[in-house]
Structure 1
Amino acid sequence: MPTPDSSAAERPTRSRNRRGEGGRLRQDILDAATALIEREGGATNLSLRQLAREAGISAPSVYAHFTDLDDVVDTVLNGFFDQLRDAIAAANAAEADPVAALHAGCGAYTRFALDHPGRYRALFDRRPTGPDATPSRPVPVRTDVFQTLVDAVATCAAAGRSATTEPFADAAAIWAALHGAVLLRLSVPGFPWPDLPVFTEALVTRTGLITD
Protein backbone atom coordinates (compact mmCIF):
# COMPACT_ATOMS: atom_id res chain seq x y z
CA MET A 1 0.00 0.00 0.00
CA PRO A 2 1.46 3.43 -0.91
CA THR A 3 2.47 5.77 1.87
CA PRO A 4 0.95 9.29 2.05
CA ASP A 5 4.02 10.75 0.34
CA SER A 6 4.43 8.08 -2.32
CA SER A 7 2.21 9.81 -4.90
CA ALA A 8 4.51 12.81 -4.85
CA ALA A 9 7.54 10.55 -5.09
CA GLU A 10 6.03 8.65 -8.01
CA ARG A 11 5.27 11.80 -10.04
CA PRO A 12 7.82 12.14 -12.86
CA THR A 13 10.46 14.78 -12.26
CA ARG A 14 10.66 17.43 -14.94
CA SER A 15 13.85 17.34 -17.02
CA ARG A 16 16.17 20.30 -16.60
CA ASN A 17 15.86 23.02 -19.24
CA ARG A 18 18.71 23.59 -21.64
CA ARG A 19 20.15 27.10 -21.87
CA GLY A 20 17.63 29.49 -23.38
CA GLU A 21 14.59 27.32 -22.56
CA GLY A 22 13.41 29.27 -19.52
CA GLY A 23 10.25 30.22 -21.38
CA ARG A 24 9.32 26.57 -21.55
CA LEU A 25 9.44 26.31 -17.76
CA ARG A 26 7.16 29.34 -17.43
CA GLN A 27 4.62 27.75 -19.77
CA ASP A 28 4.91 24.42 -17.97
CA ILE A 29 4.00 26.17 -14.72
CA LEU A 30 0.98 27.83 -16.33
CA ASP A 31 -0.09 24.53 -17.89
CA ALA A 32 0.22 22.81 -14.51
CA ALA A 33 -1.90 25.51 -12.83
CA THR A 34 -4.53 25.17 -15.57
CA ALA A 35 -4.63 21.40 -15.16
CA LEU A 36 -5.07 21.70 -11.39
CA ILE A 37 -7.83 24.30 -11.73
CA GLU A 38 -9.72 22.10 -14.17
CA ARG A 39 -9.24 18.96 -12.08
CA GLU A 40 -10.09 20.59 -8.75
CA GLY A 41 -12.96 22.68 -10.11
CA GLY A 42 -11.39 26.03 -9.24
CA ALA A 43 -8.33 27.72 -7.75
CA THR A 44 -9.51 27.98 -4.16
CA ASN A 45 -7.29 25.29 -2.65
CA LEU A 46 -4.29 25.56 -4.94
CA SER A 47 -0.95 25.57 -3.09
CA LEU A 48 2.59 26.29 -4.22
CA ARG A 49 3.75 22.77 -3.31
CA GLN A 50 0.84 21.25 -5.22
CA LEU A 51 1.64 23.39 -8.27
CA ALA A 52 5.34 22.48 -8.17
CA ARG A 53 4.53 18.79 -7.86
CA GLU A 54 2.14 18.98 -10.82
CA ALA A 55 4.80 20.71 -12.94
CA GLY A 56 7.52 18.28 -11.80
CA ILE A 57 9.76 21.02 -10.38
CA SER A 58 10.89 22.29 -7.00
CA ALA A 59 8.73 25.00 -5.40
CA PRO A 60 11.49 27.67 -5.50
CA SER A 61 11.72 27.25 -9.29
CA VAL A 62 8.36 29.04 -9.59
CA TYR A 63 9.97 32.27 -8.38
CA ALA A 64 12.26 32.41 -11.40
CA HIS A 65 9.25 33.40 -13.50
CA PHE A 66 6.51 34.58 -11.12
CA THR A 67 6.41 36.80 -8.05
CA ASP A 68 4.34 34.30 -6.06
CA LEU A 69 1.48 31.83 -6.41
CA ASP A 70 -1.06 34.61 -6.83
CA ASP A 71 0.94 35.91 -9.79
CA VAL A 72 0.69 32.47 -11.42
CA VAL A 73 -3.06 32.26 -10.81
CA ASP A 74 -3.66 35.83 -12.01
CA THR A 75 -1.79 35.07 -15.23
CA VAL A 76 -3.84 31.92 -15.79
CA LEU A 77 -7.10 33.72 -15.05
CA ASN A 78 -6.27 36.48 -17.50
CA GLY A 79 -5.81 33.79 -20.12
CA PHE A 80 -9.24 32.38 -19.25
CA PHE A 81 -10.75 35.85 -19.53
CA ASP A 82 -9.17 36.21 -22.97
CA GLN A 83 -10.74 32.91 -24.04
CA LEU A 84 -14.15 33.99 -22.76
CA ARG A 85 -13.94 37.42 -24.40
CA ASP A 86 -12.84 35.96 -27.73
CA ALA A 87 -15.67 33.38 -27.70
CA ILE A 88 -18.26 36.10 -27.02
CA ALA A 89 -16.81 38.48 -29.62
CA ALA A 90 -16.70 35.76 -32.30
CA ALA A 91 -20.31 34.79 -31.62
CA ASN A 92 -21.41 38.44 -31.76
CA ALA A 93 -19.55 39.07 -35.01
CA ALA A 94 -21.16 36.06 -36.71
CA GLU A 95 -24.62 37.68 -36.53
CA ALA A 96 -25.61 40.80 -38.47
CA ASP A 97 -28.87 41.33 -36.59
CA PRO A 98 -28.19 43.12 -33.26
CA VAL A 99 -30.61 41.03 -31.20
CA ALA A 100 -29.30 37.80 -32.73
CA ALA A 101 -25.76 38.99 -31.96
CA LEU A 102 -26.68 39.69 -28.33
CA HIS A 103 -28.22 36.24 -27.94
CA ALA A 104 -25.26 34.59 -29.65
CA GLY A 105 -22.76 36.29 -27.36
CA CYS A 106 -24.71 35.33 -24.26
CA GLY A 107 -25.00 31.77 -25.55
CA ALA A 108 -21.22 31.67 -25.98
CA TYR A 109 -20.85 32.85 -22.37
CA THR A 110 -23.02 30.07 -20.96
CA ARG A 111 -21.40 27.42 -23.17
CA PHE A 112 -17.93 28.46 -21.99
CA ALA A 113 -19.06 28.22 -18.37
CA LEU A 114 -20.62 24.78 -18.73
CA ASP A 115 -17.90 23.39 -20.99
CA HIS A 116 -15.13 24.61 -18.67
CA PRO A 117 -16.65 24.68 -15.16
CA GLY A 118 -13.30 24.70 -13.35
CA ARG A 119 -12.08 27.66 -15.36
CA TYR A 120 -15.37 29.49 -14.95
CA ARG A 121 -15.51 29.00 -11.18
CA ALA A 122 -11.91 30.16 -10.84
CA LEU A 123 -12.70 33.44 -12.61
CA PHE A 124 -15.23 34.50 -9.99
CA ASP A 125 -14.23 32.61 -6.86
CA ARG A 126 -10.80 33.81 -5.79
CA ARG A 127 -10.02 33.08 -2.14
CA PRO A 128 -6.81 32.58 -0.13
CA THR A 129 -5.06 29.71 -1.86
CA GLY A 130 -3.66 27.82 1.13
CA PRO A 131 -0.91 27.90 3.75
CA ASP A 132 1.87 27.95 1.16
CA ALA A 133 0.49 30.97 -0.69
CA THR A 134 0.65 34.68 -0.12
CA PRO A 135 -2.68 36.34 0.75
CA SER A 136 -4.93 36.25 -2.28
CA ARG A 137 -5.38 39.43 -4.27
CA PRO A 138 -8.69 40.39 -5.92
CA VAL A 139 -9.68 38.83 -9.23
CA PRO A 140 -8.00 40.72 -12.09
CA VAL A 141 -10.34 43.46 -13.29
CA ARG A 142 -11.31 42.66 -16.86
CA THR A 143 -14.04 45.14 -17.71
CA ASP A 144 -13.20 44.62 -21.40
CA VAL A 145 -15.01 41.27 -21.22
CA PHE A 146 -18.10 42.84 -19.67
CA GLN A 147 -17.91 45.69 -22.18
CA THR A 148 -18.73 43.26 -24.99
CA LEU A 149 -22.13 42.77 -23.35
CA VAL A 150 -22.67 46.49 -22.73
CA ASP A 151 -21.88 47.22 -26.38
CA ALA A 152 -24.27 44.52 -27.58
CA VAL A 153 -27.13 45.90 -25.48
CA ALA A 154 -26.36 49.46 -26.61
CA THR A 155 -26.38 48.34 -30.25
CA CYS A 156 -29.83 46.81 -29.76
CA ALA A 157 -31.07 50.06 -28.22
CA ALA A 158 -29.62 52.15 -31.06
CA ALA A 159 -31.43 49.92 -33.55
CA GLY A 160 -34.72 50.38 -31.71
CA ARG A 161 -34.72 46.73 -30.63
CA SER A 162 -34.38 47.30 -26.88
CA ALA A 163 -36.23 49.67 -24.56
CA THR A 164 -33.21 50.15 -22.34
CA THR A 165 -32.09 53.65 -21.43
CA GLU A 166 -29.17 52.35 -19.34
CA PRO A 167 -27.20 49.78 -21.32
CA PHE A 168 -24.61 49.36 -18.58
CA ALA A 169 -27.17 48.65 -15.86
CA ASP A 170 -29.21 46.30 -18.03
CA ALA A 171 -26.07 44.51 -19.20
CA ALA A 172 -25.20 44.00 -15.53
CA ALA A 173 -28.66 42.53 -14.99
CA ILE A 174 -28.17 40.14 -17.91
CA TRP A 175 -24.77 39.09 -16.56
CA ALA A 176 -26.20 38.49 -13.08
CA ALA A 177 -29.01 36.40 -14.54
CA LEU A 178 -26.67 34.31 -16.71
CA HIS A 179 -24.15 33.84 -13.91
CA GLY A 180 -26.85 32.68 -11.52
CA ALA A 181 -28.31 30.32 -14.11
CA VAL A 182 -24.90 28.82 -14.84
CA LEU A 183 -23.97 28.30 -11.19
CA LEU A 184 -27.32 26.71 -10.42
CA ARG A 185 -26.91 24.27 -13.31
CA LEU A 186 -23.42 23.38 -12.12
CA SER A 187 -24.50 23.03 -8.49
CA VAL A 188 -27.82 21.20 -9.04
CA PRO A 189 -27.28 19.09 -12.17
CA GLY A 190 -30.14 16.72 -11.29
CA PHE A 191 -32.80 19.43 -11.52
CA PRO A 192 -34.95 19.28 -14.70
CA TRP A 193 -33.55 22.50 -16.16
CA PRO A 194 -35.13 23.91 -19.34
CA ASP A 195 -33.19 23.66 -22.59
CA LEU A 196 -30.17 25.94 -22.16
CA PRO A 197 -30.35 27.96 -25.41
CA VAL A 198 -34.09 28.58 -24.94
CA PHE A 199 -33.66 29.47 -21.27
CA THR A 200 -30.73 31.79 -22.00
CA GLU A 201 -32.64 33.58 -24.74
CA ALA A 202 -35.62 34.12 -22.43
CA LEU A 203 -33.39 35.58 -19.70
CA VAL A 204 -31.66 37.92 -22.12
CA THR A 205 -34.93 39.03 -23.74
CA ARG A 206 -36.48 39.95 -20.40
CA THR A 207 -33.50 41.54 -18.67
CA GLY A 208 -32.26 43.27 -21.84
CA LEU A 209 -35.71 44.76 -22.48
CA ILE A 210 -35.76 43.39 -26.03
CA THR A 211 -38.82 44.75 -27.82
CA ASP A 212 -39.19 42.25 -30.65
Structure 2
Amino acid sequence: MSQTGATPRRRNPRGQGQVLKTQLLEAAAHLLATMDRPETLTLRQVAREVGVAPASIYSHFPDLGSLIQQVLHLRYEELAARMNDAAGTASSPLEELVARCAAYIHWGVEHPGEYRTLFGGGMPETLVPFDTHGVGEEILASVISVLSDVTTAPGRKPDPHEDWQAGLLLWTGMHGLVALYNAHGAIDWPPLDDLTAKVLGKHASQPAPVVAKILRTLKEPDSGRPVDPHHS
Protein backbone atom coordinates (compact mmCIF):
# COMPACT_ATOMS: atom_id res chain seq x y z
CA MET A 1 0.00 0.00 0.00
CA SER A 2 1.27 3.49 -0.81
CA GLN A 3 1.95 6.05 1.87
CA THR A 4 -1.23 7.90 0.89
CA GLY A 5 -3.35 4.88 1.75
CA ALA A 6 -4.96 4.95 -1.70
CA THR A 7 -5.84 1.70 -3.41
CA PRO A 8 -3.74 1.22 -6.58
CA ARG A 9 -5.80 2.34 -9.53
CA ARG A 10 -5.36 1.72 -13.23
CA ARG A 11 -4.73 4.91 -15.20
CA ASN A 12 -7.67 6.03 -17.32
CA PRO A 13 -7.11 5.52 -21.05
CA ARG A 14 -6.12 8.61 -23.00
CA GLY A 15 -9.08 10.94 -23.46
CA GLN A 16 -10.95 9.62 -20.42
CA GLY A 17 -9.69 12.11 -17.87
CA GLN A 18 -13.27 13.33 -17.56
CA VAL A 19 -14.11 9.98 -15.97
CA LEU A 20 -11.79 10.69 -13.04
CA LYS A 21 -13.09 14.25 -12.72
CA THR A 22 -16.65 12.94 -12.48
CA GLN A 23 -15.57 10.35 -9.91
CA LEU A 24 -13.90 13.04 -7.82
CA LEU A 25 -17.01 15.21 -7.91
CA GLU A 26 -19.23 12.28 -6.95
CA ALA A 27 -16.91 11.30 -4.11
CA ALA A 28 -16.71 14.85 -2.76
CA ALA A 29 -20.49 15.24 -3.02
CA HIS A 30 -21.03 11.97 -1.14
CA LEU A 31 -18.61 12.90 1.62
CA LEU A 32 -20.05 16.40 2.03
CA ALA A 33 -23.56 14.93 2.29
CA THR A 34 -22.66 12.23 4.82
CA MET A 35 -19.87 13.59 7.04
CA ASP A 36 -20.80 14.81 10.51
CA ARG A 37 -18.56 17.84 9.95
CA PRO A 38 -18.35 18.40 6.19
CA GLU A 39 -16.30 21.55 6.71
CA THR A 40 -13.38 19.26 7.69
CA LEU A 41 -13.29 17.54 4.28
CA THR A 42 -9.79 17.12 2.83
CA LEU A 43 -8.46 16.25 -0.60
CA ARG A 44 -6.85 13.17 0.93
CA GLN A 45 -10.30 11.89 1.96
CA VAL A 46 -11.66 12.47 -1.53
CA ALA A 47 -8.68 10.68 -3.07
CA ARG A 48 -9.13 7.73 -0.71
CA GLU A 49 -12.83 7.51 -1.60
CA VAL A 50 -11.99 7.25 -5.31
CA GLY A 51 -8.86 5.15 -4.86
CA VAL A 52 -6.24 7.51 -6.28
CA ALA A 53 -3.26 9.40 -4.97
CA PRO A 54 -4.09 12.93 -3.76
CA ALA A 55 -1.75 14.36 -6.39
CA SER A 56 -4.09 13.02 -9.10
CA ILE A 57 -6.73 15.54 -8.07
CA TYR A 58 -4.64 18.54 -9.11
CA SER A 59 -4.98 17.64 -12.78
CA HIS A 60 -8.66 18.55 -12.47
CA PHE A 61 -9.00 20.88 -9.49
CA PRO A 62 -6.32 23.31 -8.31
CA ASP A 63 -7.41 23.07 -4.67
CA LEU A 64 -10.09 21.80 -2.31
CA GLY A 65 -12.11 24.99 -2.59
CA SER A 66 -12.56 24.69 -6.34
CA LEU A 67 -13.72 21.08 -5.95
CA ILE A 68 -16.28 21.97 -3.28
CA GLN A 69 -17.49 24.96 -5.29
CA GLN A 70 -18.11 22.74 -8.31
CA VAL A 71 -20.09 20.31 -6.16
CA LEU A 72 -22.23 23.16 -4.84
CA HIS A 73 -22.81 24.47 -8.35
CA LEU A 74 -24.02 21.06 -9.52
CA ARG A 75 -26.34 20.66 -6.52
CA TYR A 76 -27.80 24.14 -7.05
CA GLU A 77 -28.40 23.32 -10.71
CA GLU A 78 -30.13 20.09 -9.70
CA LEU A 79 -32.45 21.92 -7.32
CA ALA A 80 -33.13 24.71 -9.82
CA ALA A 81 -34.01 22.17 -12.52
CA ARG A 82 -36.41 20.42 -10.13
CA MET A 83 -38.16 23.70 -9.37
CA ASN A 84 -38.28 24.83 -12.99
CA ASP A 85 -39.68 21.49 -14.12
CA ALA A 86 -42.39 21.66 -11.47
CA ALA A 87 -43.30 25.23 -12.42
CA GLY A 88 -43.64 24.25 -16.07
CA THR A 89 -47.08 22.76 -15.38
CA ALA A 90 -48.43 25.90 -13.69
CA SER A 91 -51.19 27.95 -15.31
CA SER A 92 -51.20 30.92 -12.89
CA PRO A 93 -48.73 32.81 -10.68
CA LEU A 94 -50.15 31.14 -7.57
CA GLU A 95 -49.79 27.69 -9.10
CA GLU A 96 -46.22 28.53 -10.11
CA LEU A 97 -45.38 29.72 -6.61
CA VAL A 98 -46.83 26.59 -5.04
CA ALA A 99 -45.09 24.34 -7.56
CA ARG A 100 -41.69 25.98 -7.10
CA CYS A 101 -41.85 26.03 -3.32
CA ALA A 102 -43.23 22.50 -3.01
CA ALA A 103 -40.45 21.23 -5.28
CA TYR A 104 -37.87 23.01 -3.10
CA ILE A 105 -39.29 21.53 0.10
CA HIS A 106 -39.63 18.01 -1.25
CA TRP A 107 -36.14 18.04 -2.77
CA GLY A 108 -34.73 19.11 0.58
CA VAL A 109 -36.57 16.36 2.45
CA GLU A 110 -35.72 13.68 -0.11
CA HIS A 111 -32.02 14.71 -0.17
CA PRO A 112 -31.20 15.80 3.39
CA GLY A 113 -27.44 15.47 3.03
CA GLU A 114 -27.36 17.40 -0.23
CA TYR A 115 -29.66 20.04 1.25
CA ARG A 116 -27.34 20.45 4.21
CA THR A 117 -24.42 20.79 1.80
CA LEU A 118 -26.11 23.79 0.18
CA PHE A 119 -27.77 25.47 3.13
CA GLY A 120 -26.23 24.04 6.29
CA GLY A 121 -23.51 26.64 6.58
CA GLY A 122 -20.22 25.92 8.30
CA MET A 123 -18.00 26.15 5.23
CA PRO A 124 -15.30 28.81 5.68
CA GLU A 125 -15.43 31.63 3.14
CA THR A 126 -11.86 30.83 2.15
CA LEU A 127 -13.20 27.59 0.65
CA VAL A 128 -16.63 28.77 -0.46
CA PRO A 129 -16.73 32.49 -1.33
CA PHE A 130 -20.14 34.15 -1.33
CA ASP A 131 -20.24 34.39 -5.13
CA THR A 132 -20.22 30.57 -5.27
CA HIS A 133 -23.94 30.71 -4.50
CA GLY A 134 -24.90 32.41 -7.77
CA VAL A 135 -27.37 29.74 -8.85
CA GLY A 136 -28.82 29.77 -5.35
CA GLU A 137 -29.48 33.49 -5.72
CA GLU A 138 -31.27 32.77 -9.00
CA ILE A 139 -33.46 30.22 -7.20
CA LEU A 140 -34.39 32.80 -4.57
CA ALA A 141 -34.99 35.46 -7.23
CA SER A 142 -37.45 33.18 -9.05
CA VAL A 143 -39.45 32.72 -5.84
CA ILE A 144 -39.38 36.45 -5.02
CA SER A 145 -40.61 37.35 -8.50
CA VAL A 146 -43.58 35.01 -8.55
CA LEU A 147 -44.46 35.79 -4.91
CA SER A 148 -44.68 39.45 -5.92
CA ASP A 149 -46.98 38.51 -8.80
CA VAL A 150 -49.25 36.71 -6.35
CA THR A 151 -49.34 39.27 -3.55
CA THR A 152 -49.20 42.64 -5.34
CA ALA A 153 -52.68 44.10 -5.58
CA PRO A 154 -53.99 44.95 -9.08
CA GLY A 155 -53.00 48.46 -10.09
CA ARG A 156 -50.33 48.70 -7.41
CA LYS A 157 -46.72 49.08 -8.43
CA PRO A 158 -44.43 46.41 -6.92
CA ASP A 159 -41.96 47.58 -4.29
CA PRO A 160 -38.61 45.81 -4.86
CA HIS A 161 -37.53 46.29 -1.24
CA GLU A 162 -40.77 44.87 0.15
CA ASP A 163 -40.69 42.05 -2.40
CA TRP A 164 -37.14 41.15 -1.33
CA GLN A 165 -38.07 41.07 2.33
CA ALA A 166 -41.21 39.02 1.66
CA GLY A 167 -39.20 36.53 -0.39
CA LEU A 168 -36.57 36.18 2.33
CA LEU A 169 -39.27 35.53 4.92
CA LEU A 170 -40.86 32.88 2.71
CA TRP A 171 -37.48 31.21 2.17
CA THR A 172 -36.87 31.35 5.92
CA GLY A 173 -40.15 29.52 6.48
CA MET A 174 -39.37 26.87 3.86
CA HIS A 175 -35.82 26.39 5.10
CA GLY A 176 -36.98 26.07 8.68
CA LEU A 177 -39.55 23.47 7.66
CA VAL A 178 -37.01 21.39 5.74
CA ALA A 179 -34.27 21.69 8.36
CA LEU A 180 -36.52 20.74 11.28
CA TYR A 181 -38.29 17.98 9.33
CA ASN A 182 -34.92 16.44 8.47
CA ALA A 183 -33.37 16.87 11.90
CA HIS A 184 -36.30 15.57 13.95
CA GLY A 185 -37.75 12.68 11.99
CA ALA A 186 -38.97 10.97 15.16
CA ILE A 187 -41.60 13.66 15.67
CA ASP A 188 -45.08 12.66 14.53
CA TRP A 189 -45.17 15.31 11.82
CA PRO A 190 -48.36 16.09 9.91
CA PRO A 191 -48.15 15.22 6.19
CA LEU A 192 -45.53 17.35 4.48
CA ASP A 193 -48.03 18.79 1.98
CA ASP A 194 -50.22 19.99 4.86
CA LEU A 195 -47.28 21.82 6.41
CA THR A 196 -46.28 23.20 3.02
CA ALA A 197 -49.79 24.51 2.40
CA LYS A 198 -49.84 26.35 5.72
CA VAL A 199 -46.39 27.89 5.26
CA LEU A 200 -47.15 29.05 1.72
CA GLY A 201 -50.64 30.20 2.63
CA LYS A 202 -49.33 32.53 5.32
CA HIS A 203 -46.69 34.10 3.10
CA ALA A 204 -48.81 34.31 -0.04
CA SER A 205 -51.90 35.63 1.79
CA GLN A 206 -53.91 32.66 0.59
CA PRO A 207 -56.12 30.26 2.58
CA ALA A 208 -54.24 27.05 3.31
CA PRO A 209 -57.05 24.92 1.77
CA VAL A 210 -56.59 26.77 -1.54
CA VAL A 211 -52.87 26.01 -1.52
CA ALA A 212 -53.56 22.42 -0.48
CA LYS A 213 -55.91 21.97 -3.43
CA ILE A 214 -53.20 23.18 -5.81
CA LEU A 215 -50.73 20.78 -4.23
CA ARG A 216 -53.13 17.92 -4.85
CA THR A 217 -53.53 18.79 -8.52
CA LEU A 218 -49.96 19.73 -9.42
CA LYS A 219 -47.66 16.85 -10.27
CA GLU A 220 -43.94 17.04 -10.78
CA PRO A 221 -42.87 15.81 -14.25
CA ASP A 222 -41.99 12.12 -14.50
CA SER A 223 -42.46 11.50 -10.80
CA GLY A 224 -46.12 11.95 -10.00
CA ARG A 225 -46.90 13.45 -6.64
CA PRO A 226 -43.79 14.13 -4.55
CA VAL A 227 -43.01 11.45 -2.00
CA ASP A 228 -43.41 12.28 1.68
CA PRO A 229 -40.76 10.13 3.43
CA HIS A 230 -42.54 10.31 6.79
CA HIS A 231 -45.96 9.42 5.38
CA SER A 232 -45.32 6.99 2.54
| Range of TM-score over shorter length | 0.7 to 0.9
Which of 138, 145, 169 is the matching residue for 2:139?
145
Equivalent residue runs for 1:43-122 within 5 Å = 43-122=38-117
For residue 179 of structure 1, the aligned residue among 157, 172, 175 is 175
Q: 1:197 to 1:13 in 2, by over 3 A?
A: farther
Q: Which runs of 5+ in 2 are unaligned?
A: 211-232
- The CA distance in 2 between the partners of 1:59 and 1:75, in whole Å, is 18
Deviations 1:140-194 (CA, angstroms, capped at 9, x unpaired): 222111111012212213585xxx8532221111100010111111111111222
Alignment counterpart, residue 195 of structure 2, candidates 193, 199, 209: 199
Instruction: Return the alpha-carbon distance in structure 1 between the equivalents of residues 9 and 153 of structure 2.
Output: 56
Return the alpha-carbon distance in structure 1 between the equivalents of residues 15 and 36 of structure 2: 34
Report the Cα distance in structure 1 between the residues aligned to 2:25 and 2:50, rounded to whole angstroms: 9
SS at 1:53 equivalent: helix
Contiguous gaps of at least 5 residues in structure 1: none
SS of residue matched to 2:62: coil
Does the 8 Å CA contact 2:93/2:146 hold for their aligned counterparts? yes
Within 2, Cα distance between the matches of 1:128 and 1:144?
21
TM score, norm. by length of structure 2: 0.76
Call closer, same or farther: CA 1:190–1:167 in 2, change over 3 Å: same
Offset at 1:128?
4.9
The one-letter amino acid of 1:157's match is: T
In structure 2, the partner of 1:136 is 127
Larger displacement relative to structure 2 (173-182 or 147-156): 147-156
1:148 maps to amino acid: S
State the identity as a percent: 27
2: CA distance, partners of 1:118 / 1:44:
13
Structure 1 segment 9-28 matched on structure 2, within 5 A: 12-28=7-23
Q: Which residue of 1 aligns with 2:219?
A: none
1:99 Cα deviation from its structure 2 partner: 1.2
Moved over 4 A (4+): none
Q: Does 1:33 align with 2:24?
A: no
Contact 1:38 1:119 in 2 (8 A): yes
CA distance in 2, matches of 1:135, 1:91: 35
Distance in 1 between the 2:49 and 2:128 partners? 23
TM-score calculated relative to the size of structure 1 = 0.83
Aligned residue-pair number: 199
SS in structure 2 of the partner of residue 31 of structure 1: helix
